[in-house]
Amino acid sequence: MGGRLSFSPAVAVLCCAAAALVATGLGSPAQGCYSRIFSFGDSLTDTGNYVHLTASKSPSPYGEPPYGRTFFGRPTGRASDGRLVIDFIAQELGLANVTAIQVGTGPADFQHGANFAIISSTANNATFFAGKGLDITPFSLDTQMLWFRTHLQQLSLQNGGGGGNVLSDALVALGEIGGNDYNFAFTKGMPRETVRAFVPAVVDKLAAAVEELIGMGARAFVVPGNLPFGCAPLYLQRFRGAGAGEYDGQTGCLSWFNRFAEYHNRVLTARLDALRRLHPDVTIVYADWYGAMTSIFQAPGKLGFTNVLRQCCGNQTVPCGKAGCAVCDDPSTYGSWDGTHPTEAVYKVIAGGVLHGPHAYPVPLAKTCPPPS
Ligand SMILES: *[C@@H]1O[C@H](CO)[C@@H](O)[C@H](O)[C@H]1NC(C)=O
Ligand SMILES: *[C@@H]1O[C@H](CO)[C@@H](O)[C@H](O)[C@H]1NC(C)=O
Ligand SMILES: *[C@@H]1O[C@H](CO)[C@@H](O)[C@H](O)[C@H]1NC(C)=O
């Protein structure tokens, strides 16, 4: 979940970065109908920001082999063995290489949008957690929104303050985010019901970001819910003393934590319904990551998984990415890559369900386009 570090937004590198994008007009999408993707989230979506920002201070295991070995053949800063949901979505929409905002260096890097997601990010900011005795991470959705506003400002400055709105034909991928608000609290041993009371504040943060982005011109969103984290090896190990009654008989997952994720998702989907009513001209797709991943836990063999409740890489003594960590032969048969994060194989199933159904509401993402202005 990432170590501590002081926060210094490396936005300066973005100077001049997006000039070409605006100067040459907004361009036409290579395929599909979105011109770019702006993405926000945590370790389930980060494609390099965290490892880039922390590299000089305390190199992160996420930047070490065998991370990245299945697809990229090297660590890329993704907390998995290969591609994430955002990579599969970008690929499908013809927008490969949505560059991590801290990693891009030149104008060409941001032609297809930018990824603001960062490992360890919470939805709520430090003020929320300090009031609860949790002093956890310098990165929040507010941090990412700050980077985003700076990025947009630079685009606009480069264009003499005028020009088209880069958001009007963009897809905004907002999340998954909020999982860490709960993870960190559970890790600190906070009582379950106290953590449950965080849910409305997390969903408020997400809704506020949607509202702000709509105000800036965004017209299409995909918003994922939480995963069934009661099936994650991290939780299964931490709560391994749990009584038999705590486990789901069919999947072997910890029922209470999965019900917690379902509760978060219910509050989130109700809020998205309200946002759709307020903004009938905006497309908002709920991405049911929970349902997609649950389909794997309920029938692993059907999809080629043989070790759904196990991690492929590392263990509690020698975590993945540390020298000498153990790694399985075939990650595509595992549910978890490193105990906390899914394998590429799982992400592929989730992305398929979101893009083509049935794990998207009200329509599969691949069937959407930015609404006409
Ligand atoms: C995406 O980035 C990789 C690595 O930087 C590069 O090899 C590849 O050509 C890029 N793909 C596209 C479609 O730009
Ligand atoms: C932190 O979050 C609170 C609640 O959403 C908000 O009022 C405050 O402005 C935020 N602080 C920063 C520094 O973004
Ligand atoms: C954890 O992995 C290390 C490195 O492969 C191994 O030596 C050790 O036995 C493992 N520990 C457990 C409890 O499996």
Show the domain range for 83.
37-367
The answer to whether residue 43 is catalytic is yes
pLDDT of residue 107: 65
- Give 287's DSSP letter: E
Q: Minimum-distance ligand to the CA of 237?
A: 3
Treating both helix axes as pointing N-terminal to C-terminal, what angle do 255-278 and 289-298 enclose, rounded to 10 degrees?
150
Please identify, by atom number, the ligand 3 atom nearest to the C-alpha of residue 317. Answer: 1
Please identify, by atom number, the ligand 1 atom nearest to the C-alpha of residue 96. Answer: 13
Measured in Å, residue 124 CA sits from the centre of ligand 2 at 8
Q: Minimum-distance ligand to the CA of 30?
A: 1
| Cα 46 to Cα 147: distance, rounded to the nearest angstrom | 14
Calculate the CA dihedral of residues 259, 261, 264, 266 and round it to 10 degrees: -60
- Measuring from atom 14 of ligand 3, which residue has the nearest CA? 315
Asked if residue 247 is part of any domain, the answer here is yes
In a structure prediction context, what are the per-residue pLDDT tens digits for the chain, which is 373 residues long? 443 333 333 333 332 333 333 333 333 333 569 999 999 999 999 999 999 999 888 889 999 999 999 999 999 999 999 999 999 999 999 998 899 999 998 667 888 999 999 999 999 999 999 989 887 789 999 999 999 999 998 877 766 665 568 999 999 999 999 999 999 999 999 999 999 999 999 999 999 999 999 999 999 999 999 999 999 999 999 998 889 899 999 999 999 999 999 999 999 999 999 999 999 999 999 999 999 999 999 999 999 999 999 999 999 999 999 999 999 999 999 999 999 999 999 999 999 999 999 999 999 999 998 777 6
Output the domain CATH number for residue 275: 3.40.50.1110
Please identify, by atom number, the ligand 1 atom nearest to the C-alpha of residue 112. Answer: 14
- Measuring from atom 9 of ligand 1, which residue has the nearest CA? 97
| Cα 68 to Cα 87: distance, rounded to the nearest angstrom | 13
Domain count, the chain: 1
Q: Minimum-distance ligand to the CA of 139?
A: 2
Residue 28: CB within 6 Å of ligand 2?
no
SS (H, E, C) 41-106: CCCCCCCCHHHHHHCCCCCCHHHCCCCCCCCCCCCCCCCCCCCCHHHHHHHHCCCCCCCECCCCCC
- The answer to whether 145 touches 212, Cβ cutoff 8 Å, is yes
Asked if residue 373 is part of any domain, the answer here is no
- Choose the residue to mutate in 240, 315, 325, 327 for probing ligand 3, maximizing ligand atoms within 8 Å of C-beta: 315
Residue 140: CB within 6 Å of ligand 2?
no
Task: Extract the tokens encoding 295.
Answer: 């389909």
- Measuring from atom 6 of ligand 1, which residue has the nearest CA? 97
- The answer to whether 227 touches 238, Cβ cutoff 8 Å, is no
| Cα 346 to Cα 29: distance, rounded to the nearest angstrom | 28
Does residue 362 have a cis bond before it (omega within 30 degrees)? yes
Residue 123: CB within 6 Å of ligand 2?
no
Amino acid at 3: G
Asked if residue 220 is part of any domain, the answer here is yes
The runs of H, that is alpha helices, within the chain are: 19-23, 49-54, 85-92, 126-130, 141-158, 179-187, 192-196, 199-216, 233-238, 255-278, 289-298, 344-356
Of the candidates 161, 160, 163, the one whose C-alpha atom is nearest the C-alpha of residue 26 is 163
CB atoms within 10 A of CB 137: 25
pLDDT of residue 105: 84
Measured in Å, residue 122 CA sits from the centre of ligand 2 at 13
Task: Calculate the CA 219 to chain-centre distance.
Answer: 20
The answer to whether residue 273 is catalytic is no
pLDDT of residue 159: 67
pLDDT of residue 154: 82
Please identify, by atom number, the ligand 3 atom nearest to the C-alpha of residue 326. Answer: 5
Catalytic residue among 39, 52, 338, 359: 338
Burial 88-122 (b: 16+ CB within 10 A, else e): bbbbbbebebbbbbbbbeebebbbbbbbbbbbbbb
Measured in Å, residue 109 CA sits from the centre of ligand 1 at 10
Pocket around ligand 3: residues whose beta carbon is below 6 Å from it? 315, 317-318, 324-326
Asked if residue 32 is part of any domain, the answer here is no
Asked if residue 310 is part of any domain, the answer here is yes
Measured in Å, residue 126 CA sits from the centre of ligand 2 at 8
Residue 127: CB within 6 Å of ligand 2?
yes
Task: Extract the tokens encoding 314.
Answer: 């590392």
Residue 125: CB within 6 Å of ligand 2?
yes
| Cα 321 to Cα 337: distance, rounded to the nearest angstrom | 11
pLDDT of residue 181: 97
CA angle 262, 266, 272 (to 5 degrees): 140
Asked if residue 1 is part of any domain, the answer here is no
pTM above 0.85? Answer: yes
The answer to whether residue 112 is catalytic is no
Asked if residue 22 is part of any domain, the answer here is no
- Give every CB contact of residue 152 below 8 A, 6+ residues apart in sequence: 166, 167, 216
Pocket around ligand 1: residues whose beta carbon is below 6 Å from it? 96-97
Asked if residue 18 is part of any domain, the answer here is no
- The answer to whether 209 touches 117, Cβ cutoff 8 Å, is no
| Cα 253 to Cα 247: distance, rounded to the nearest angstrom | 5
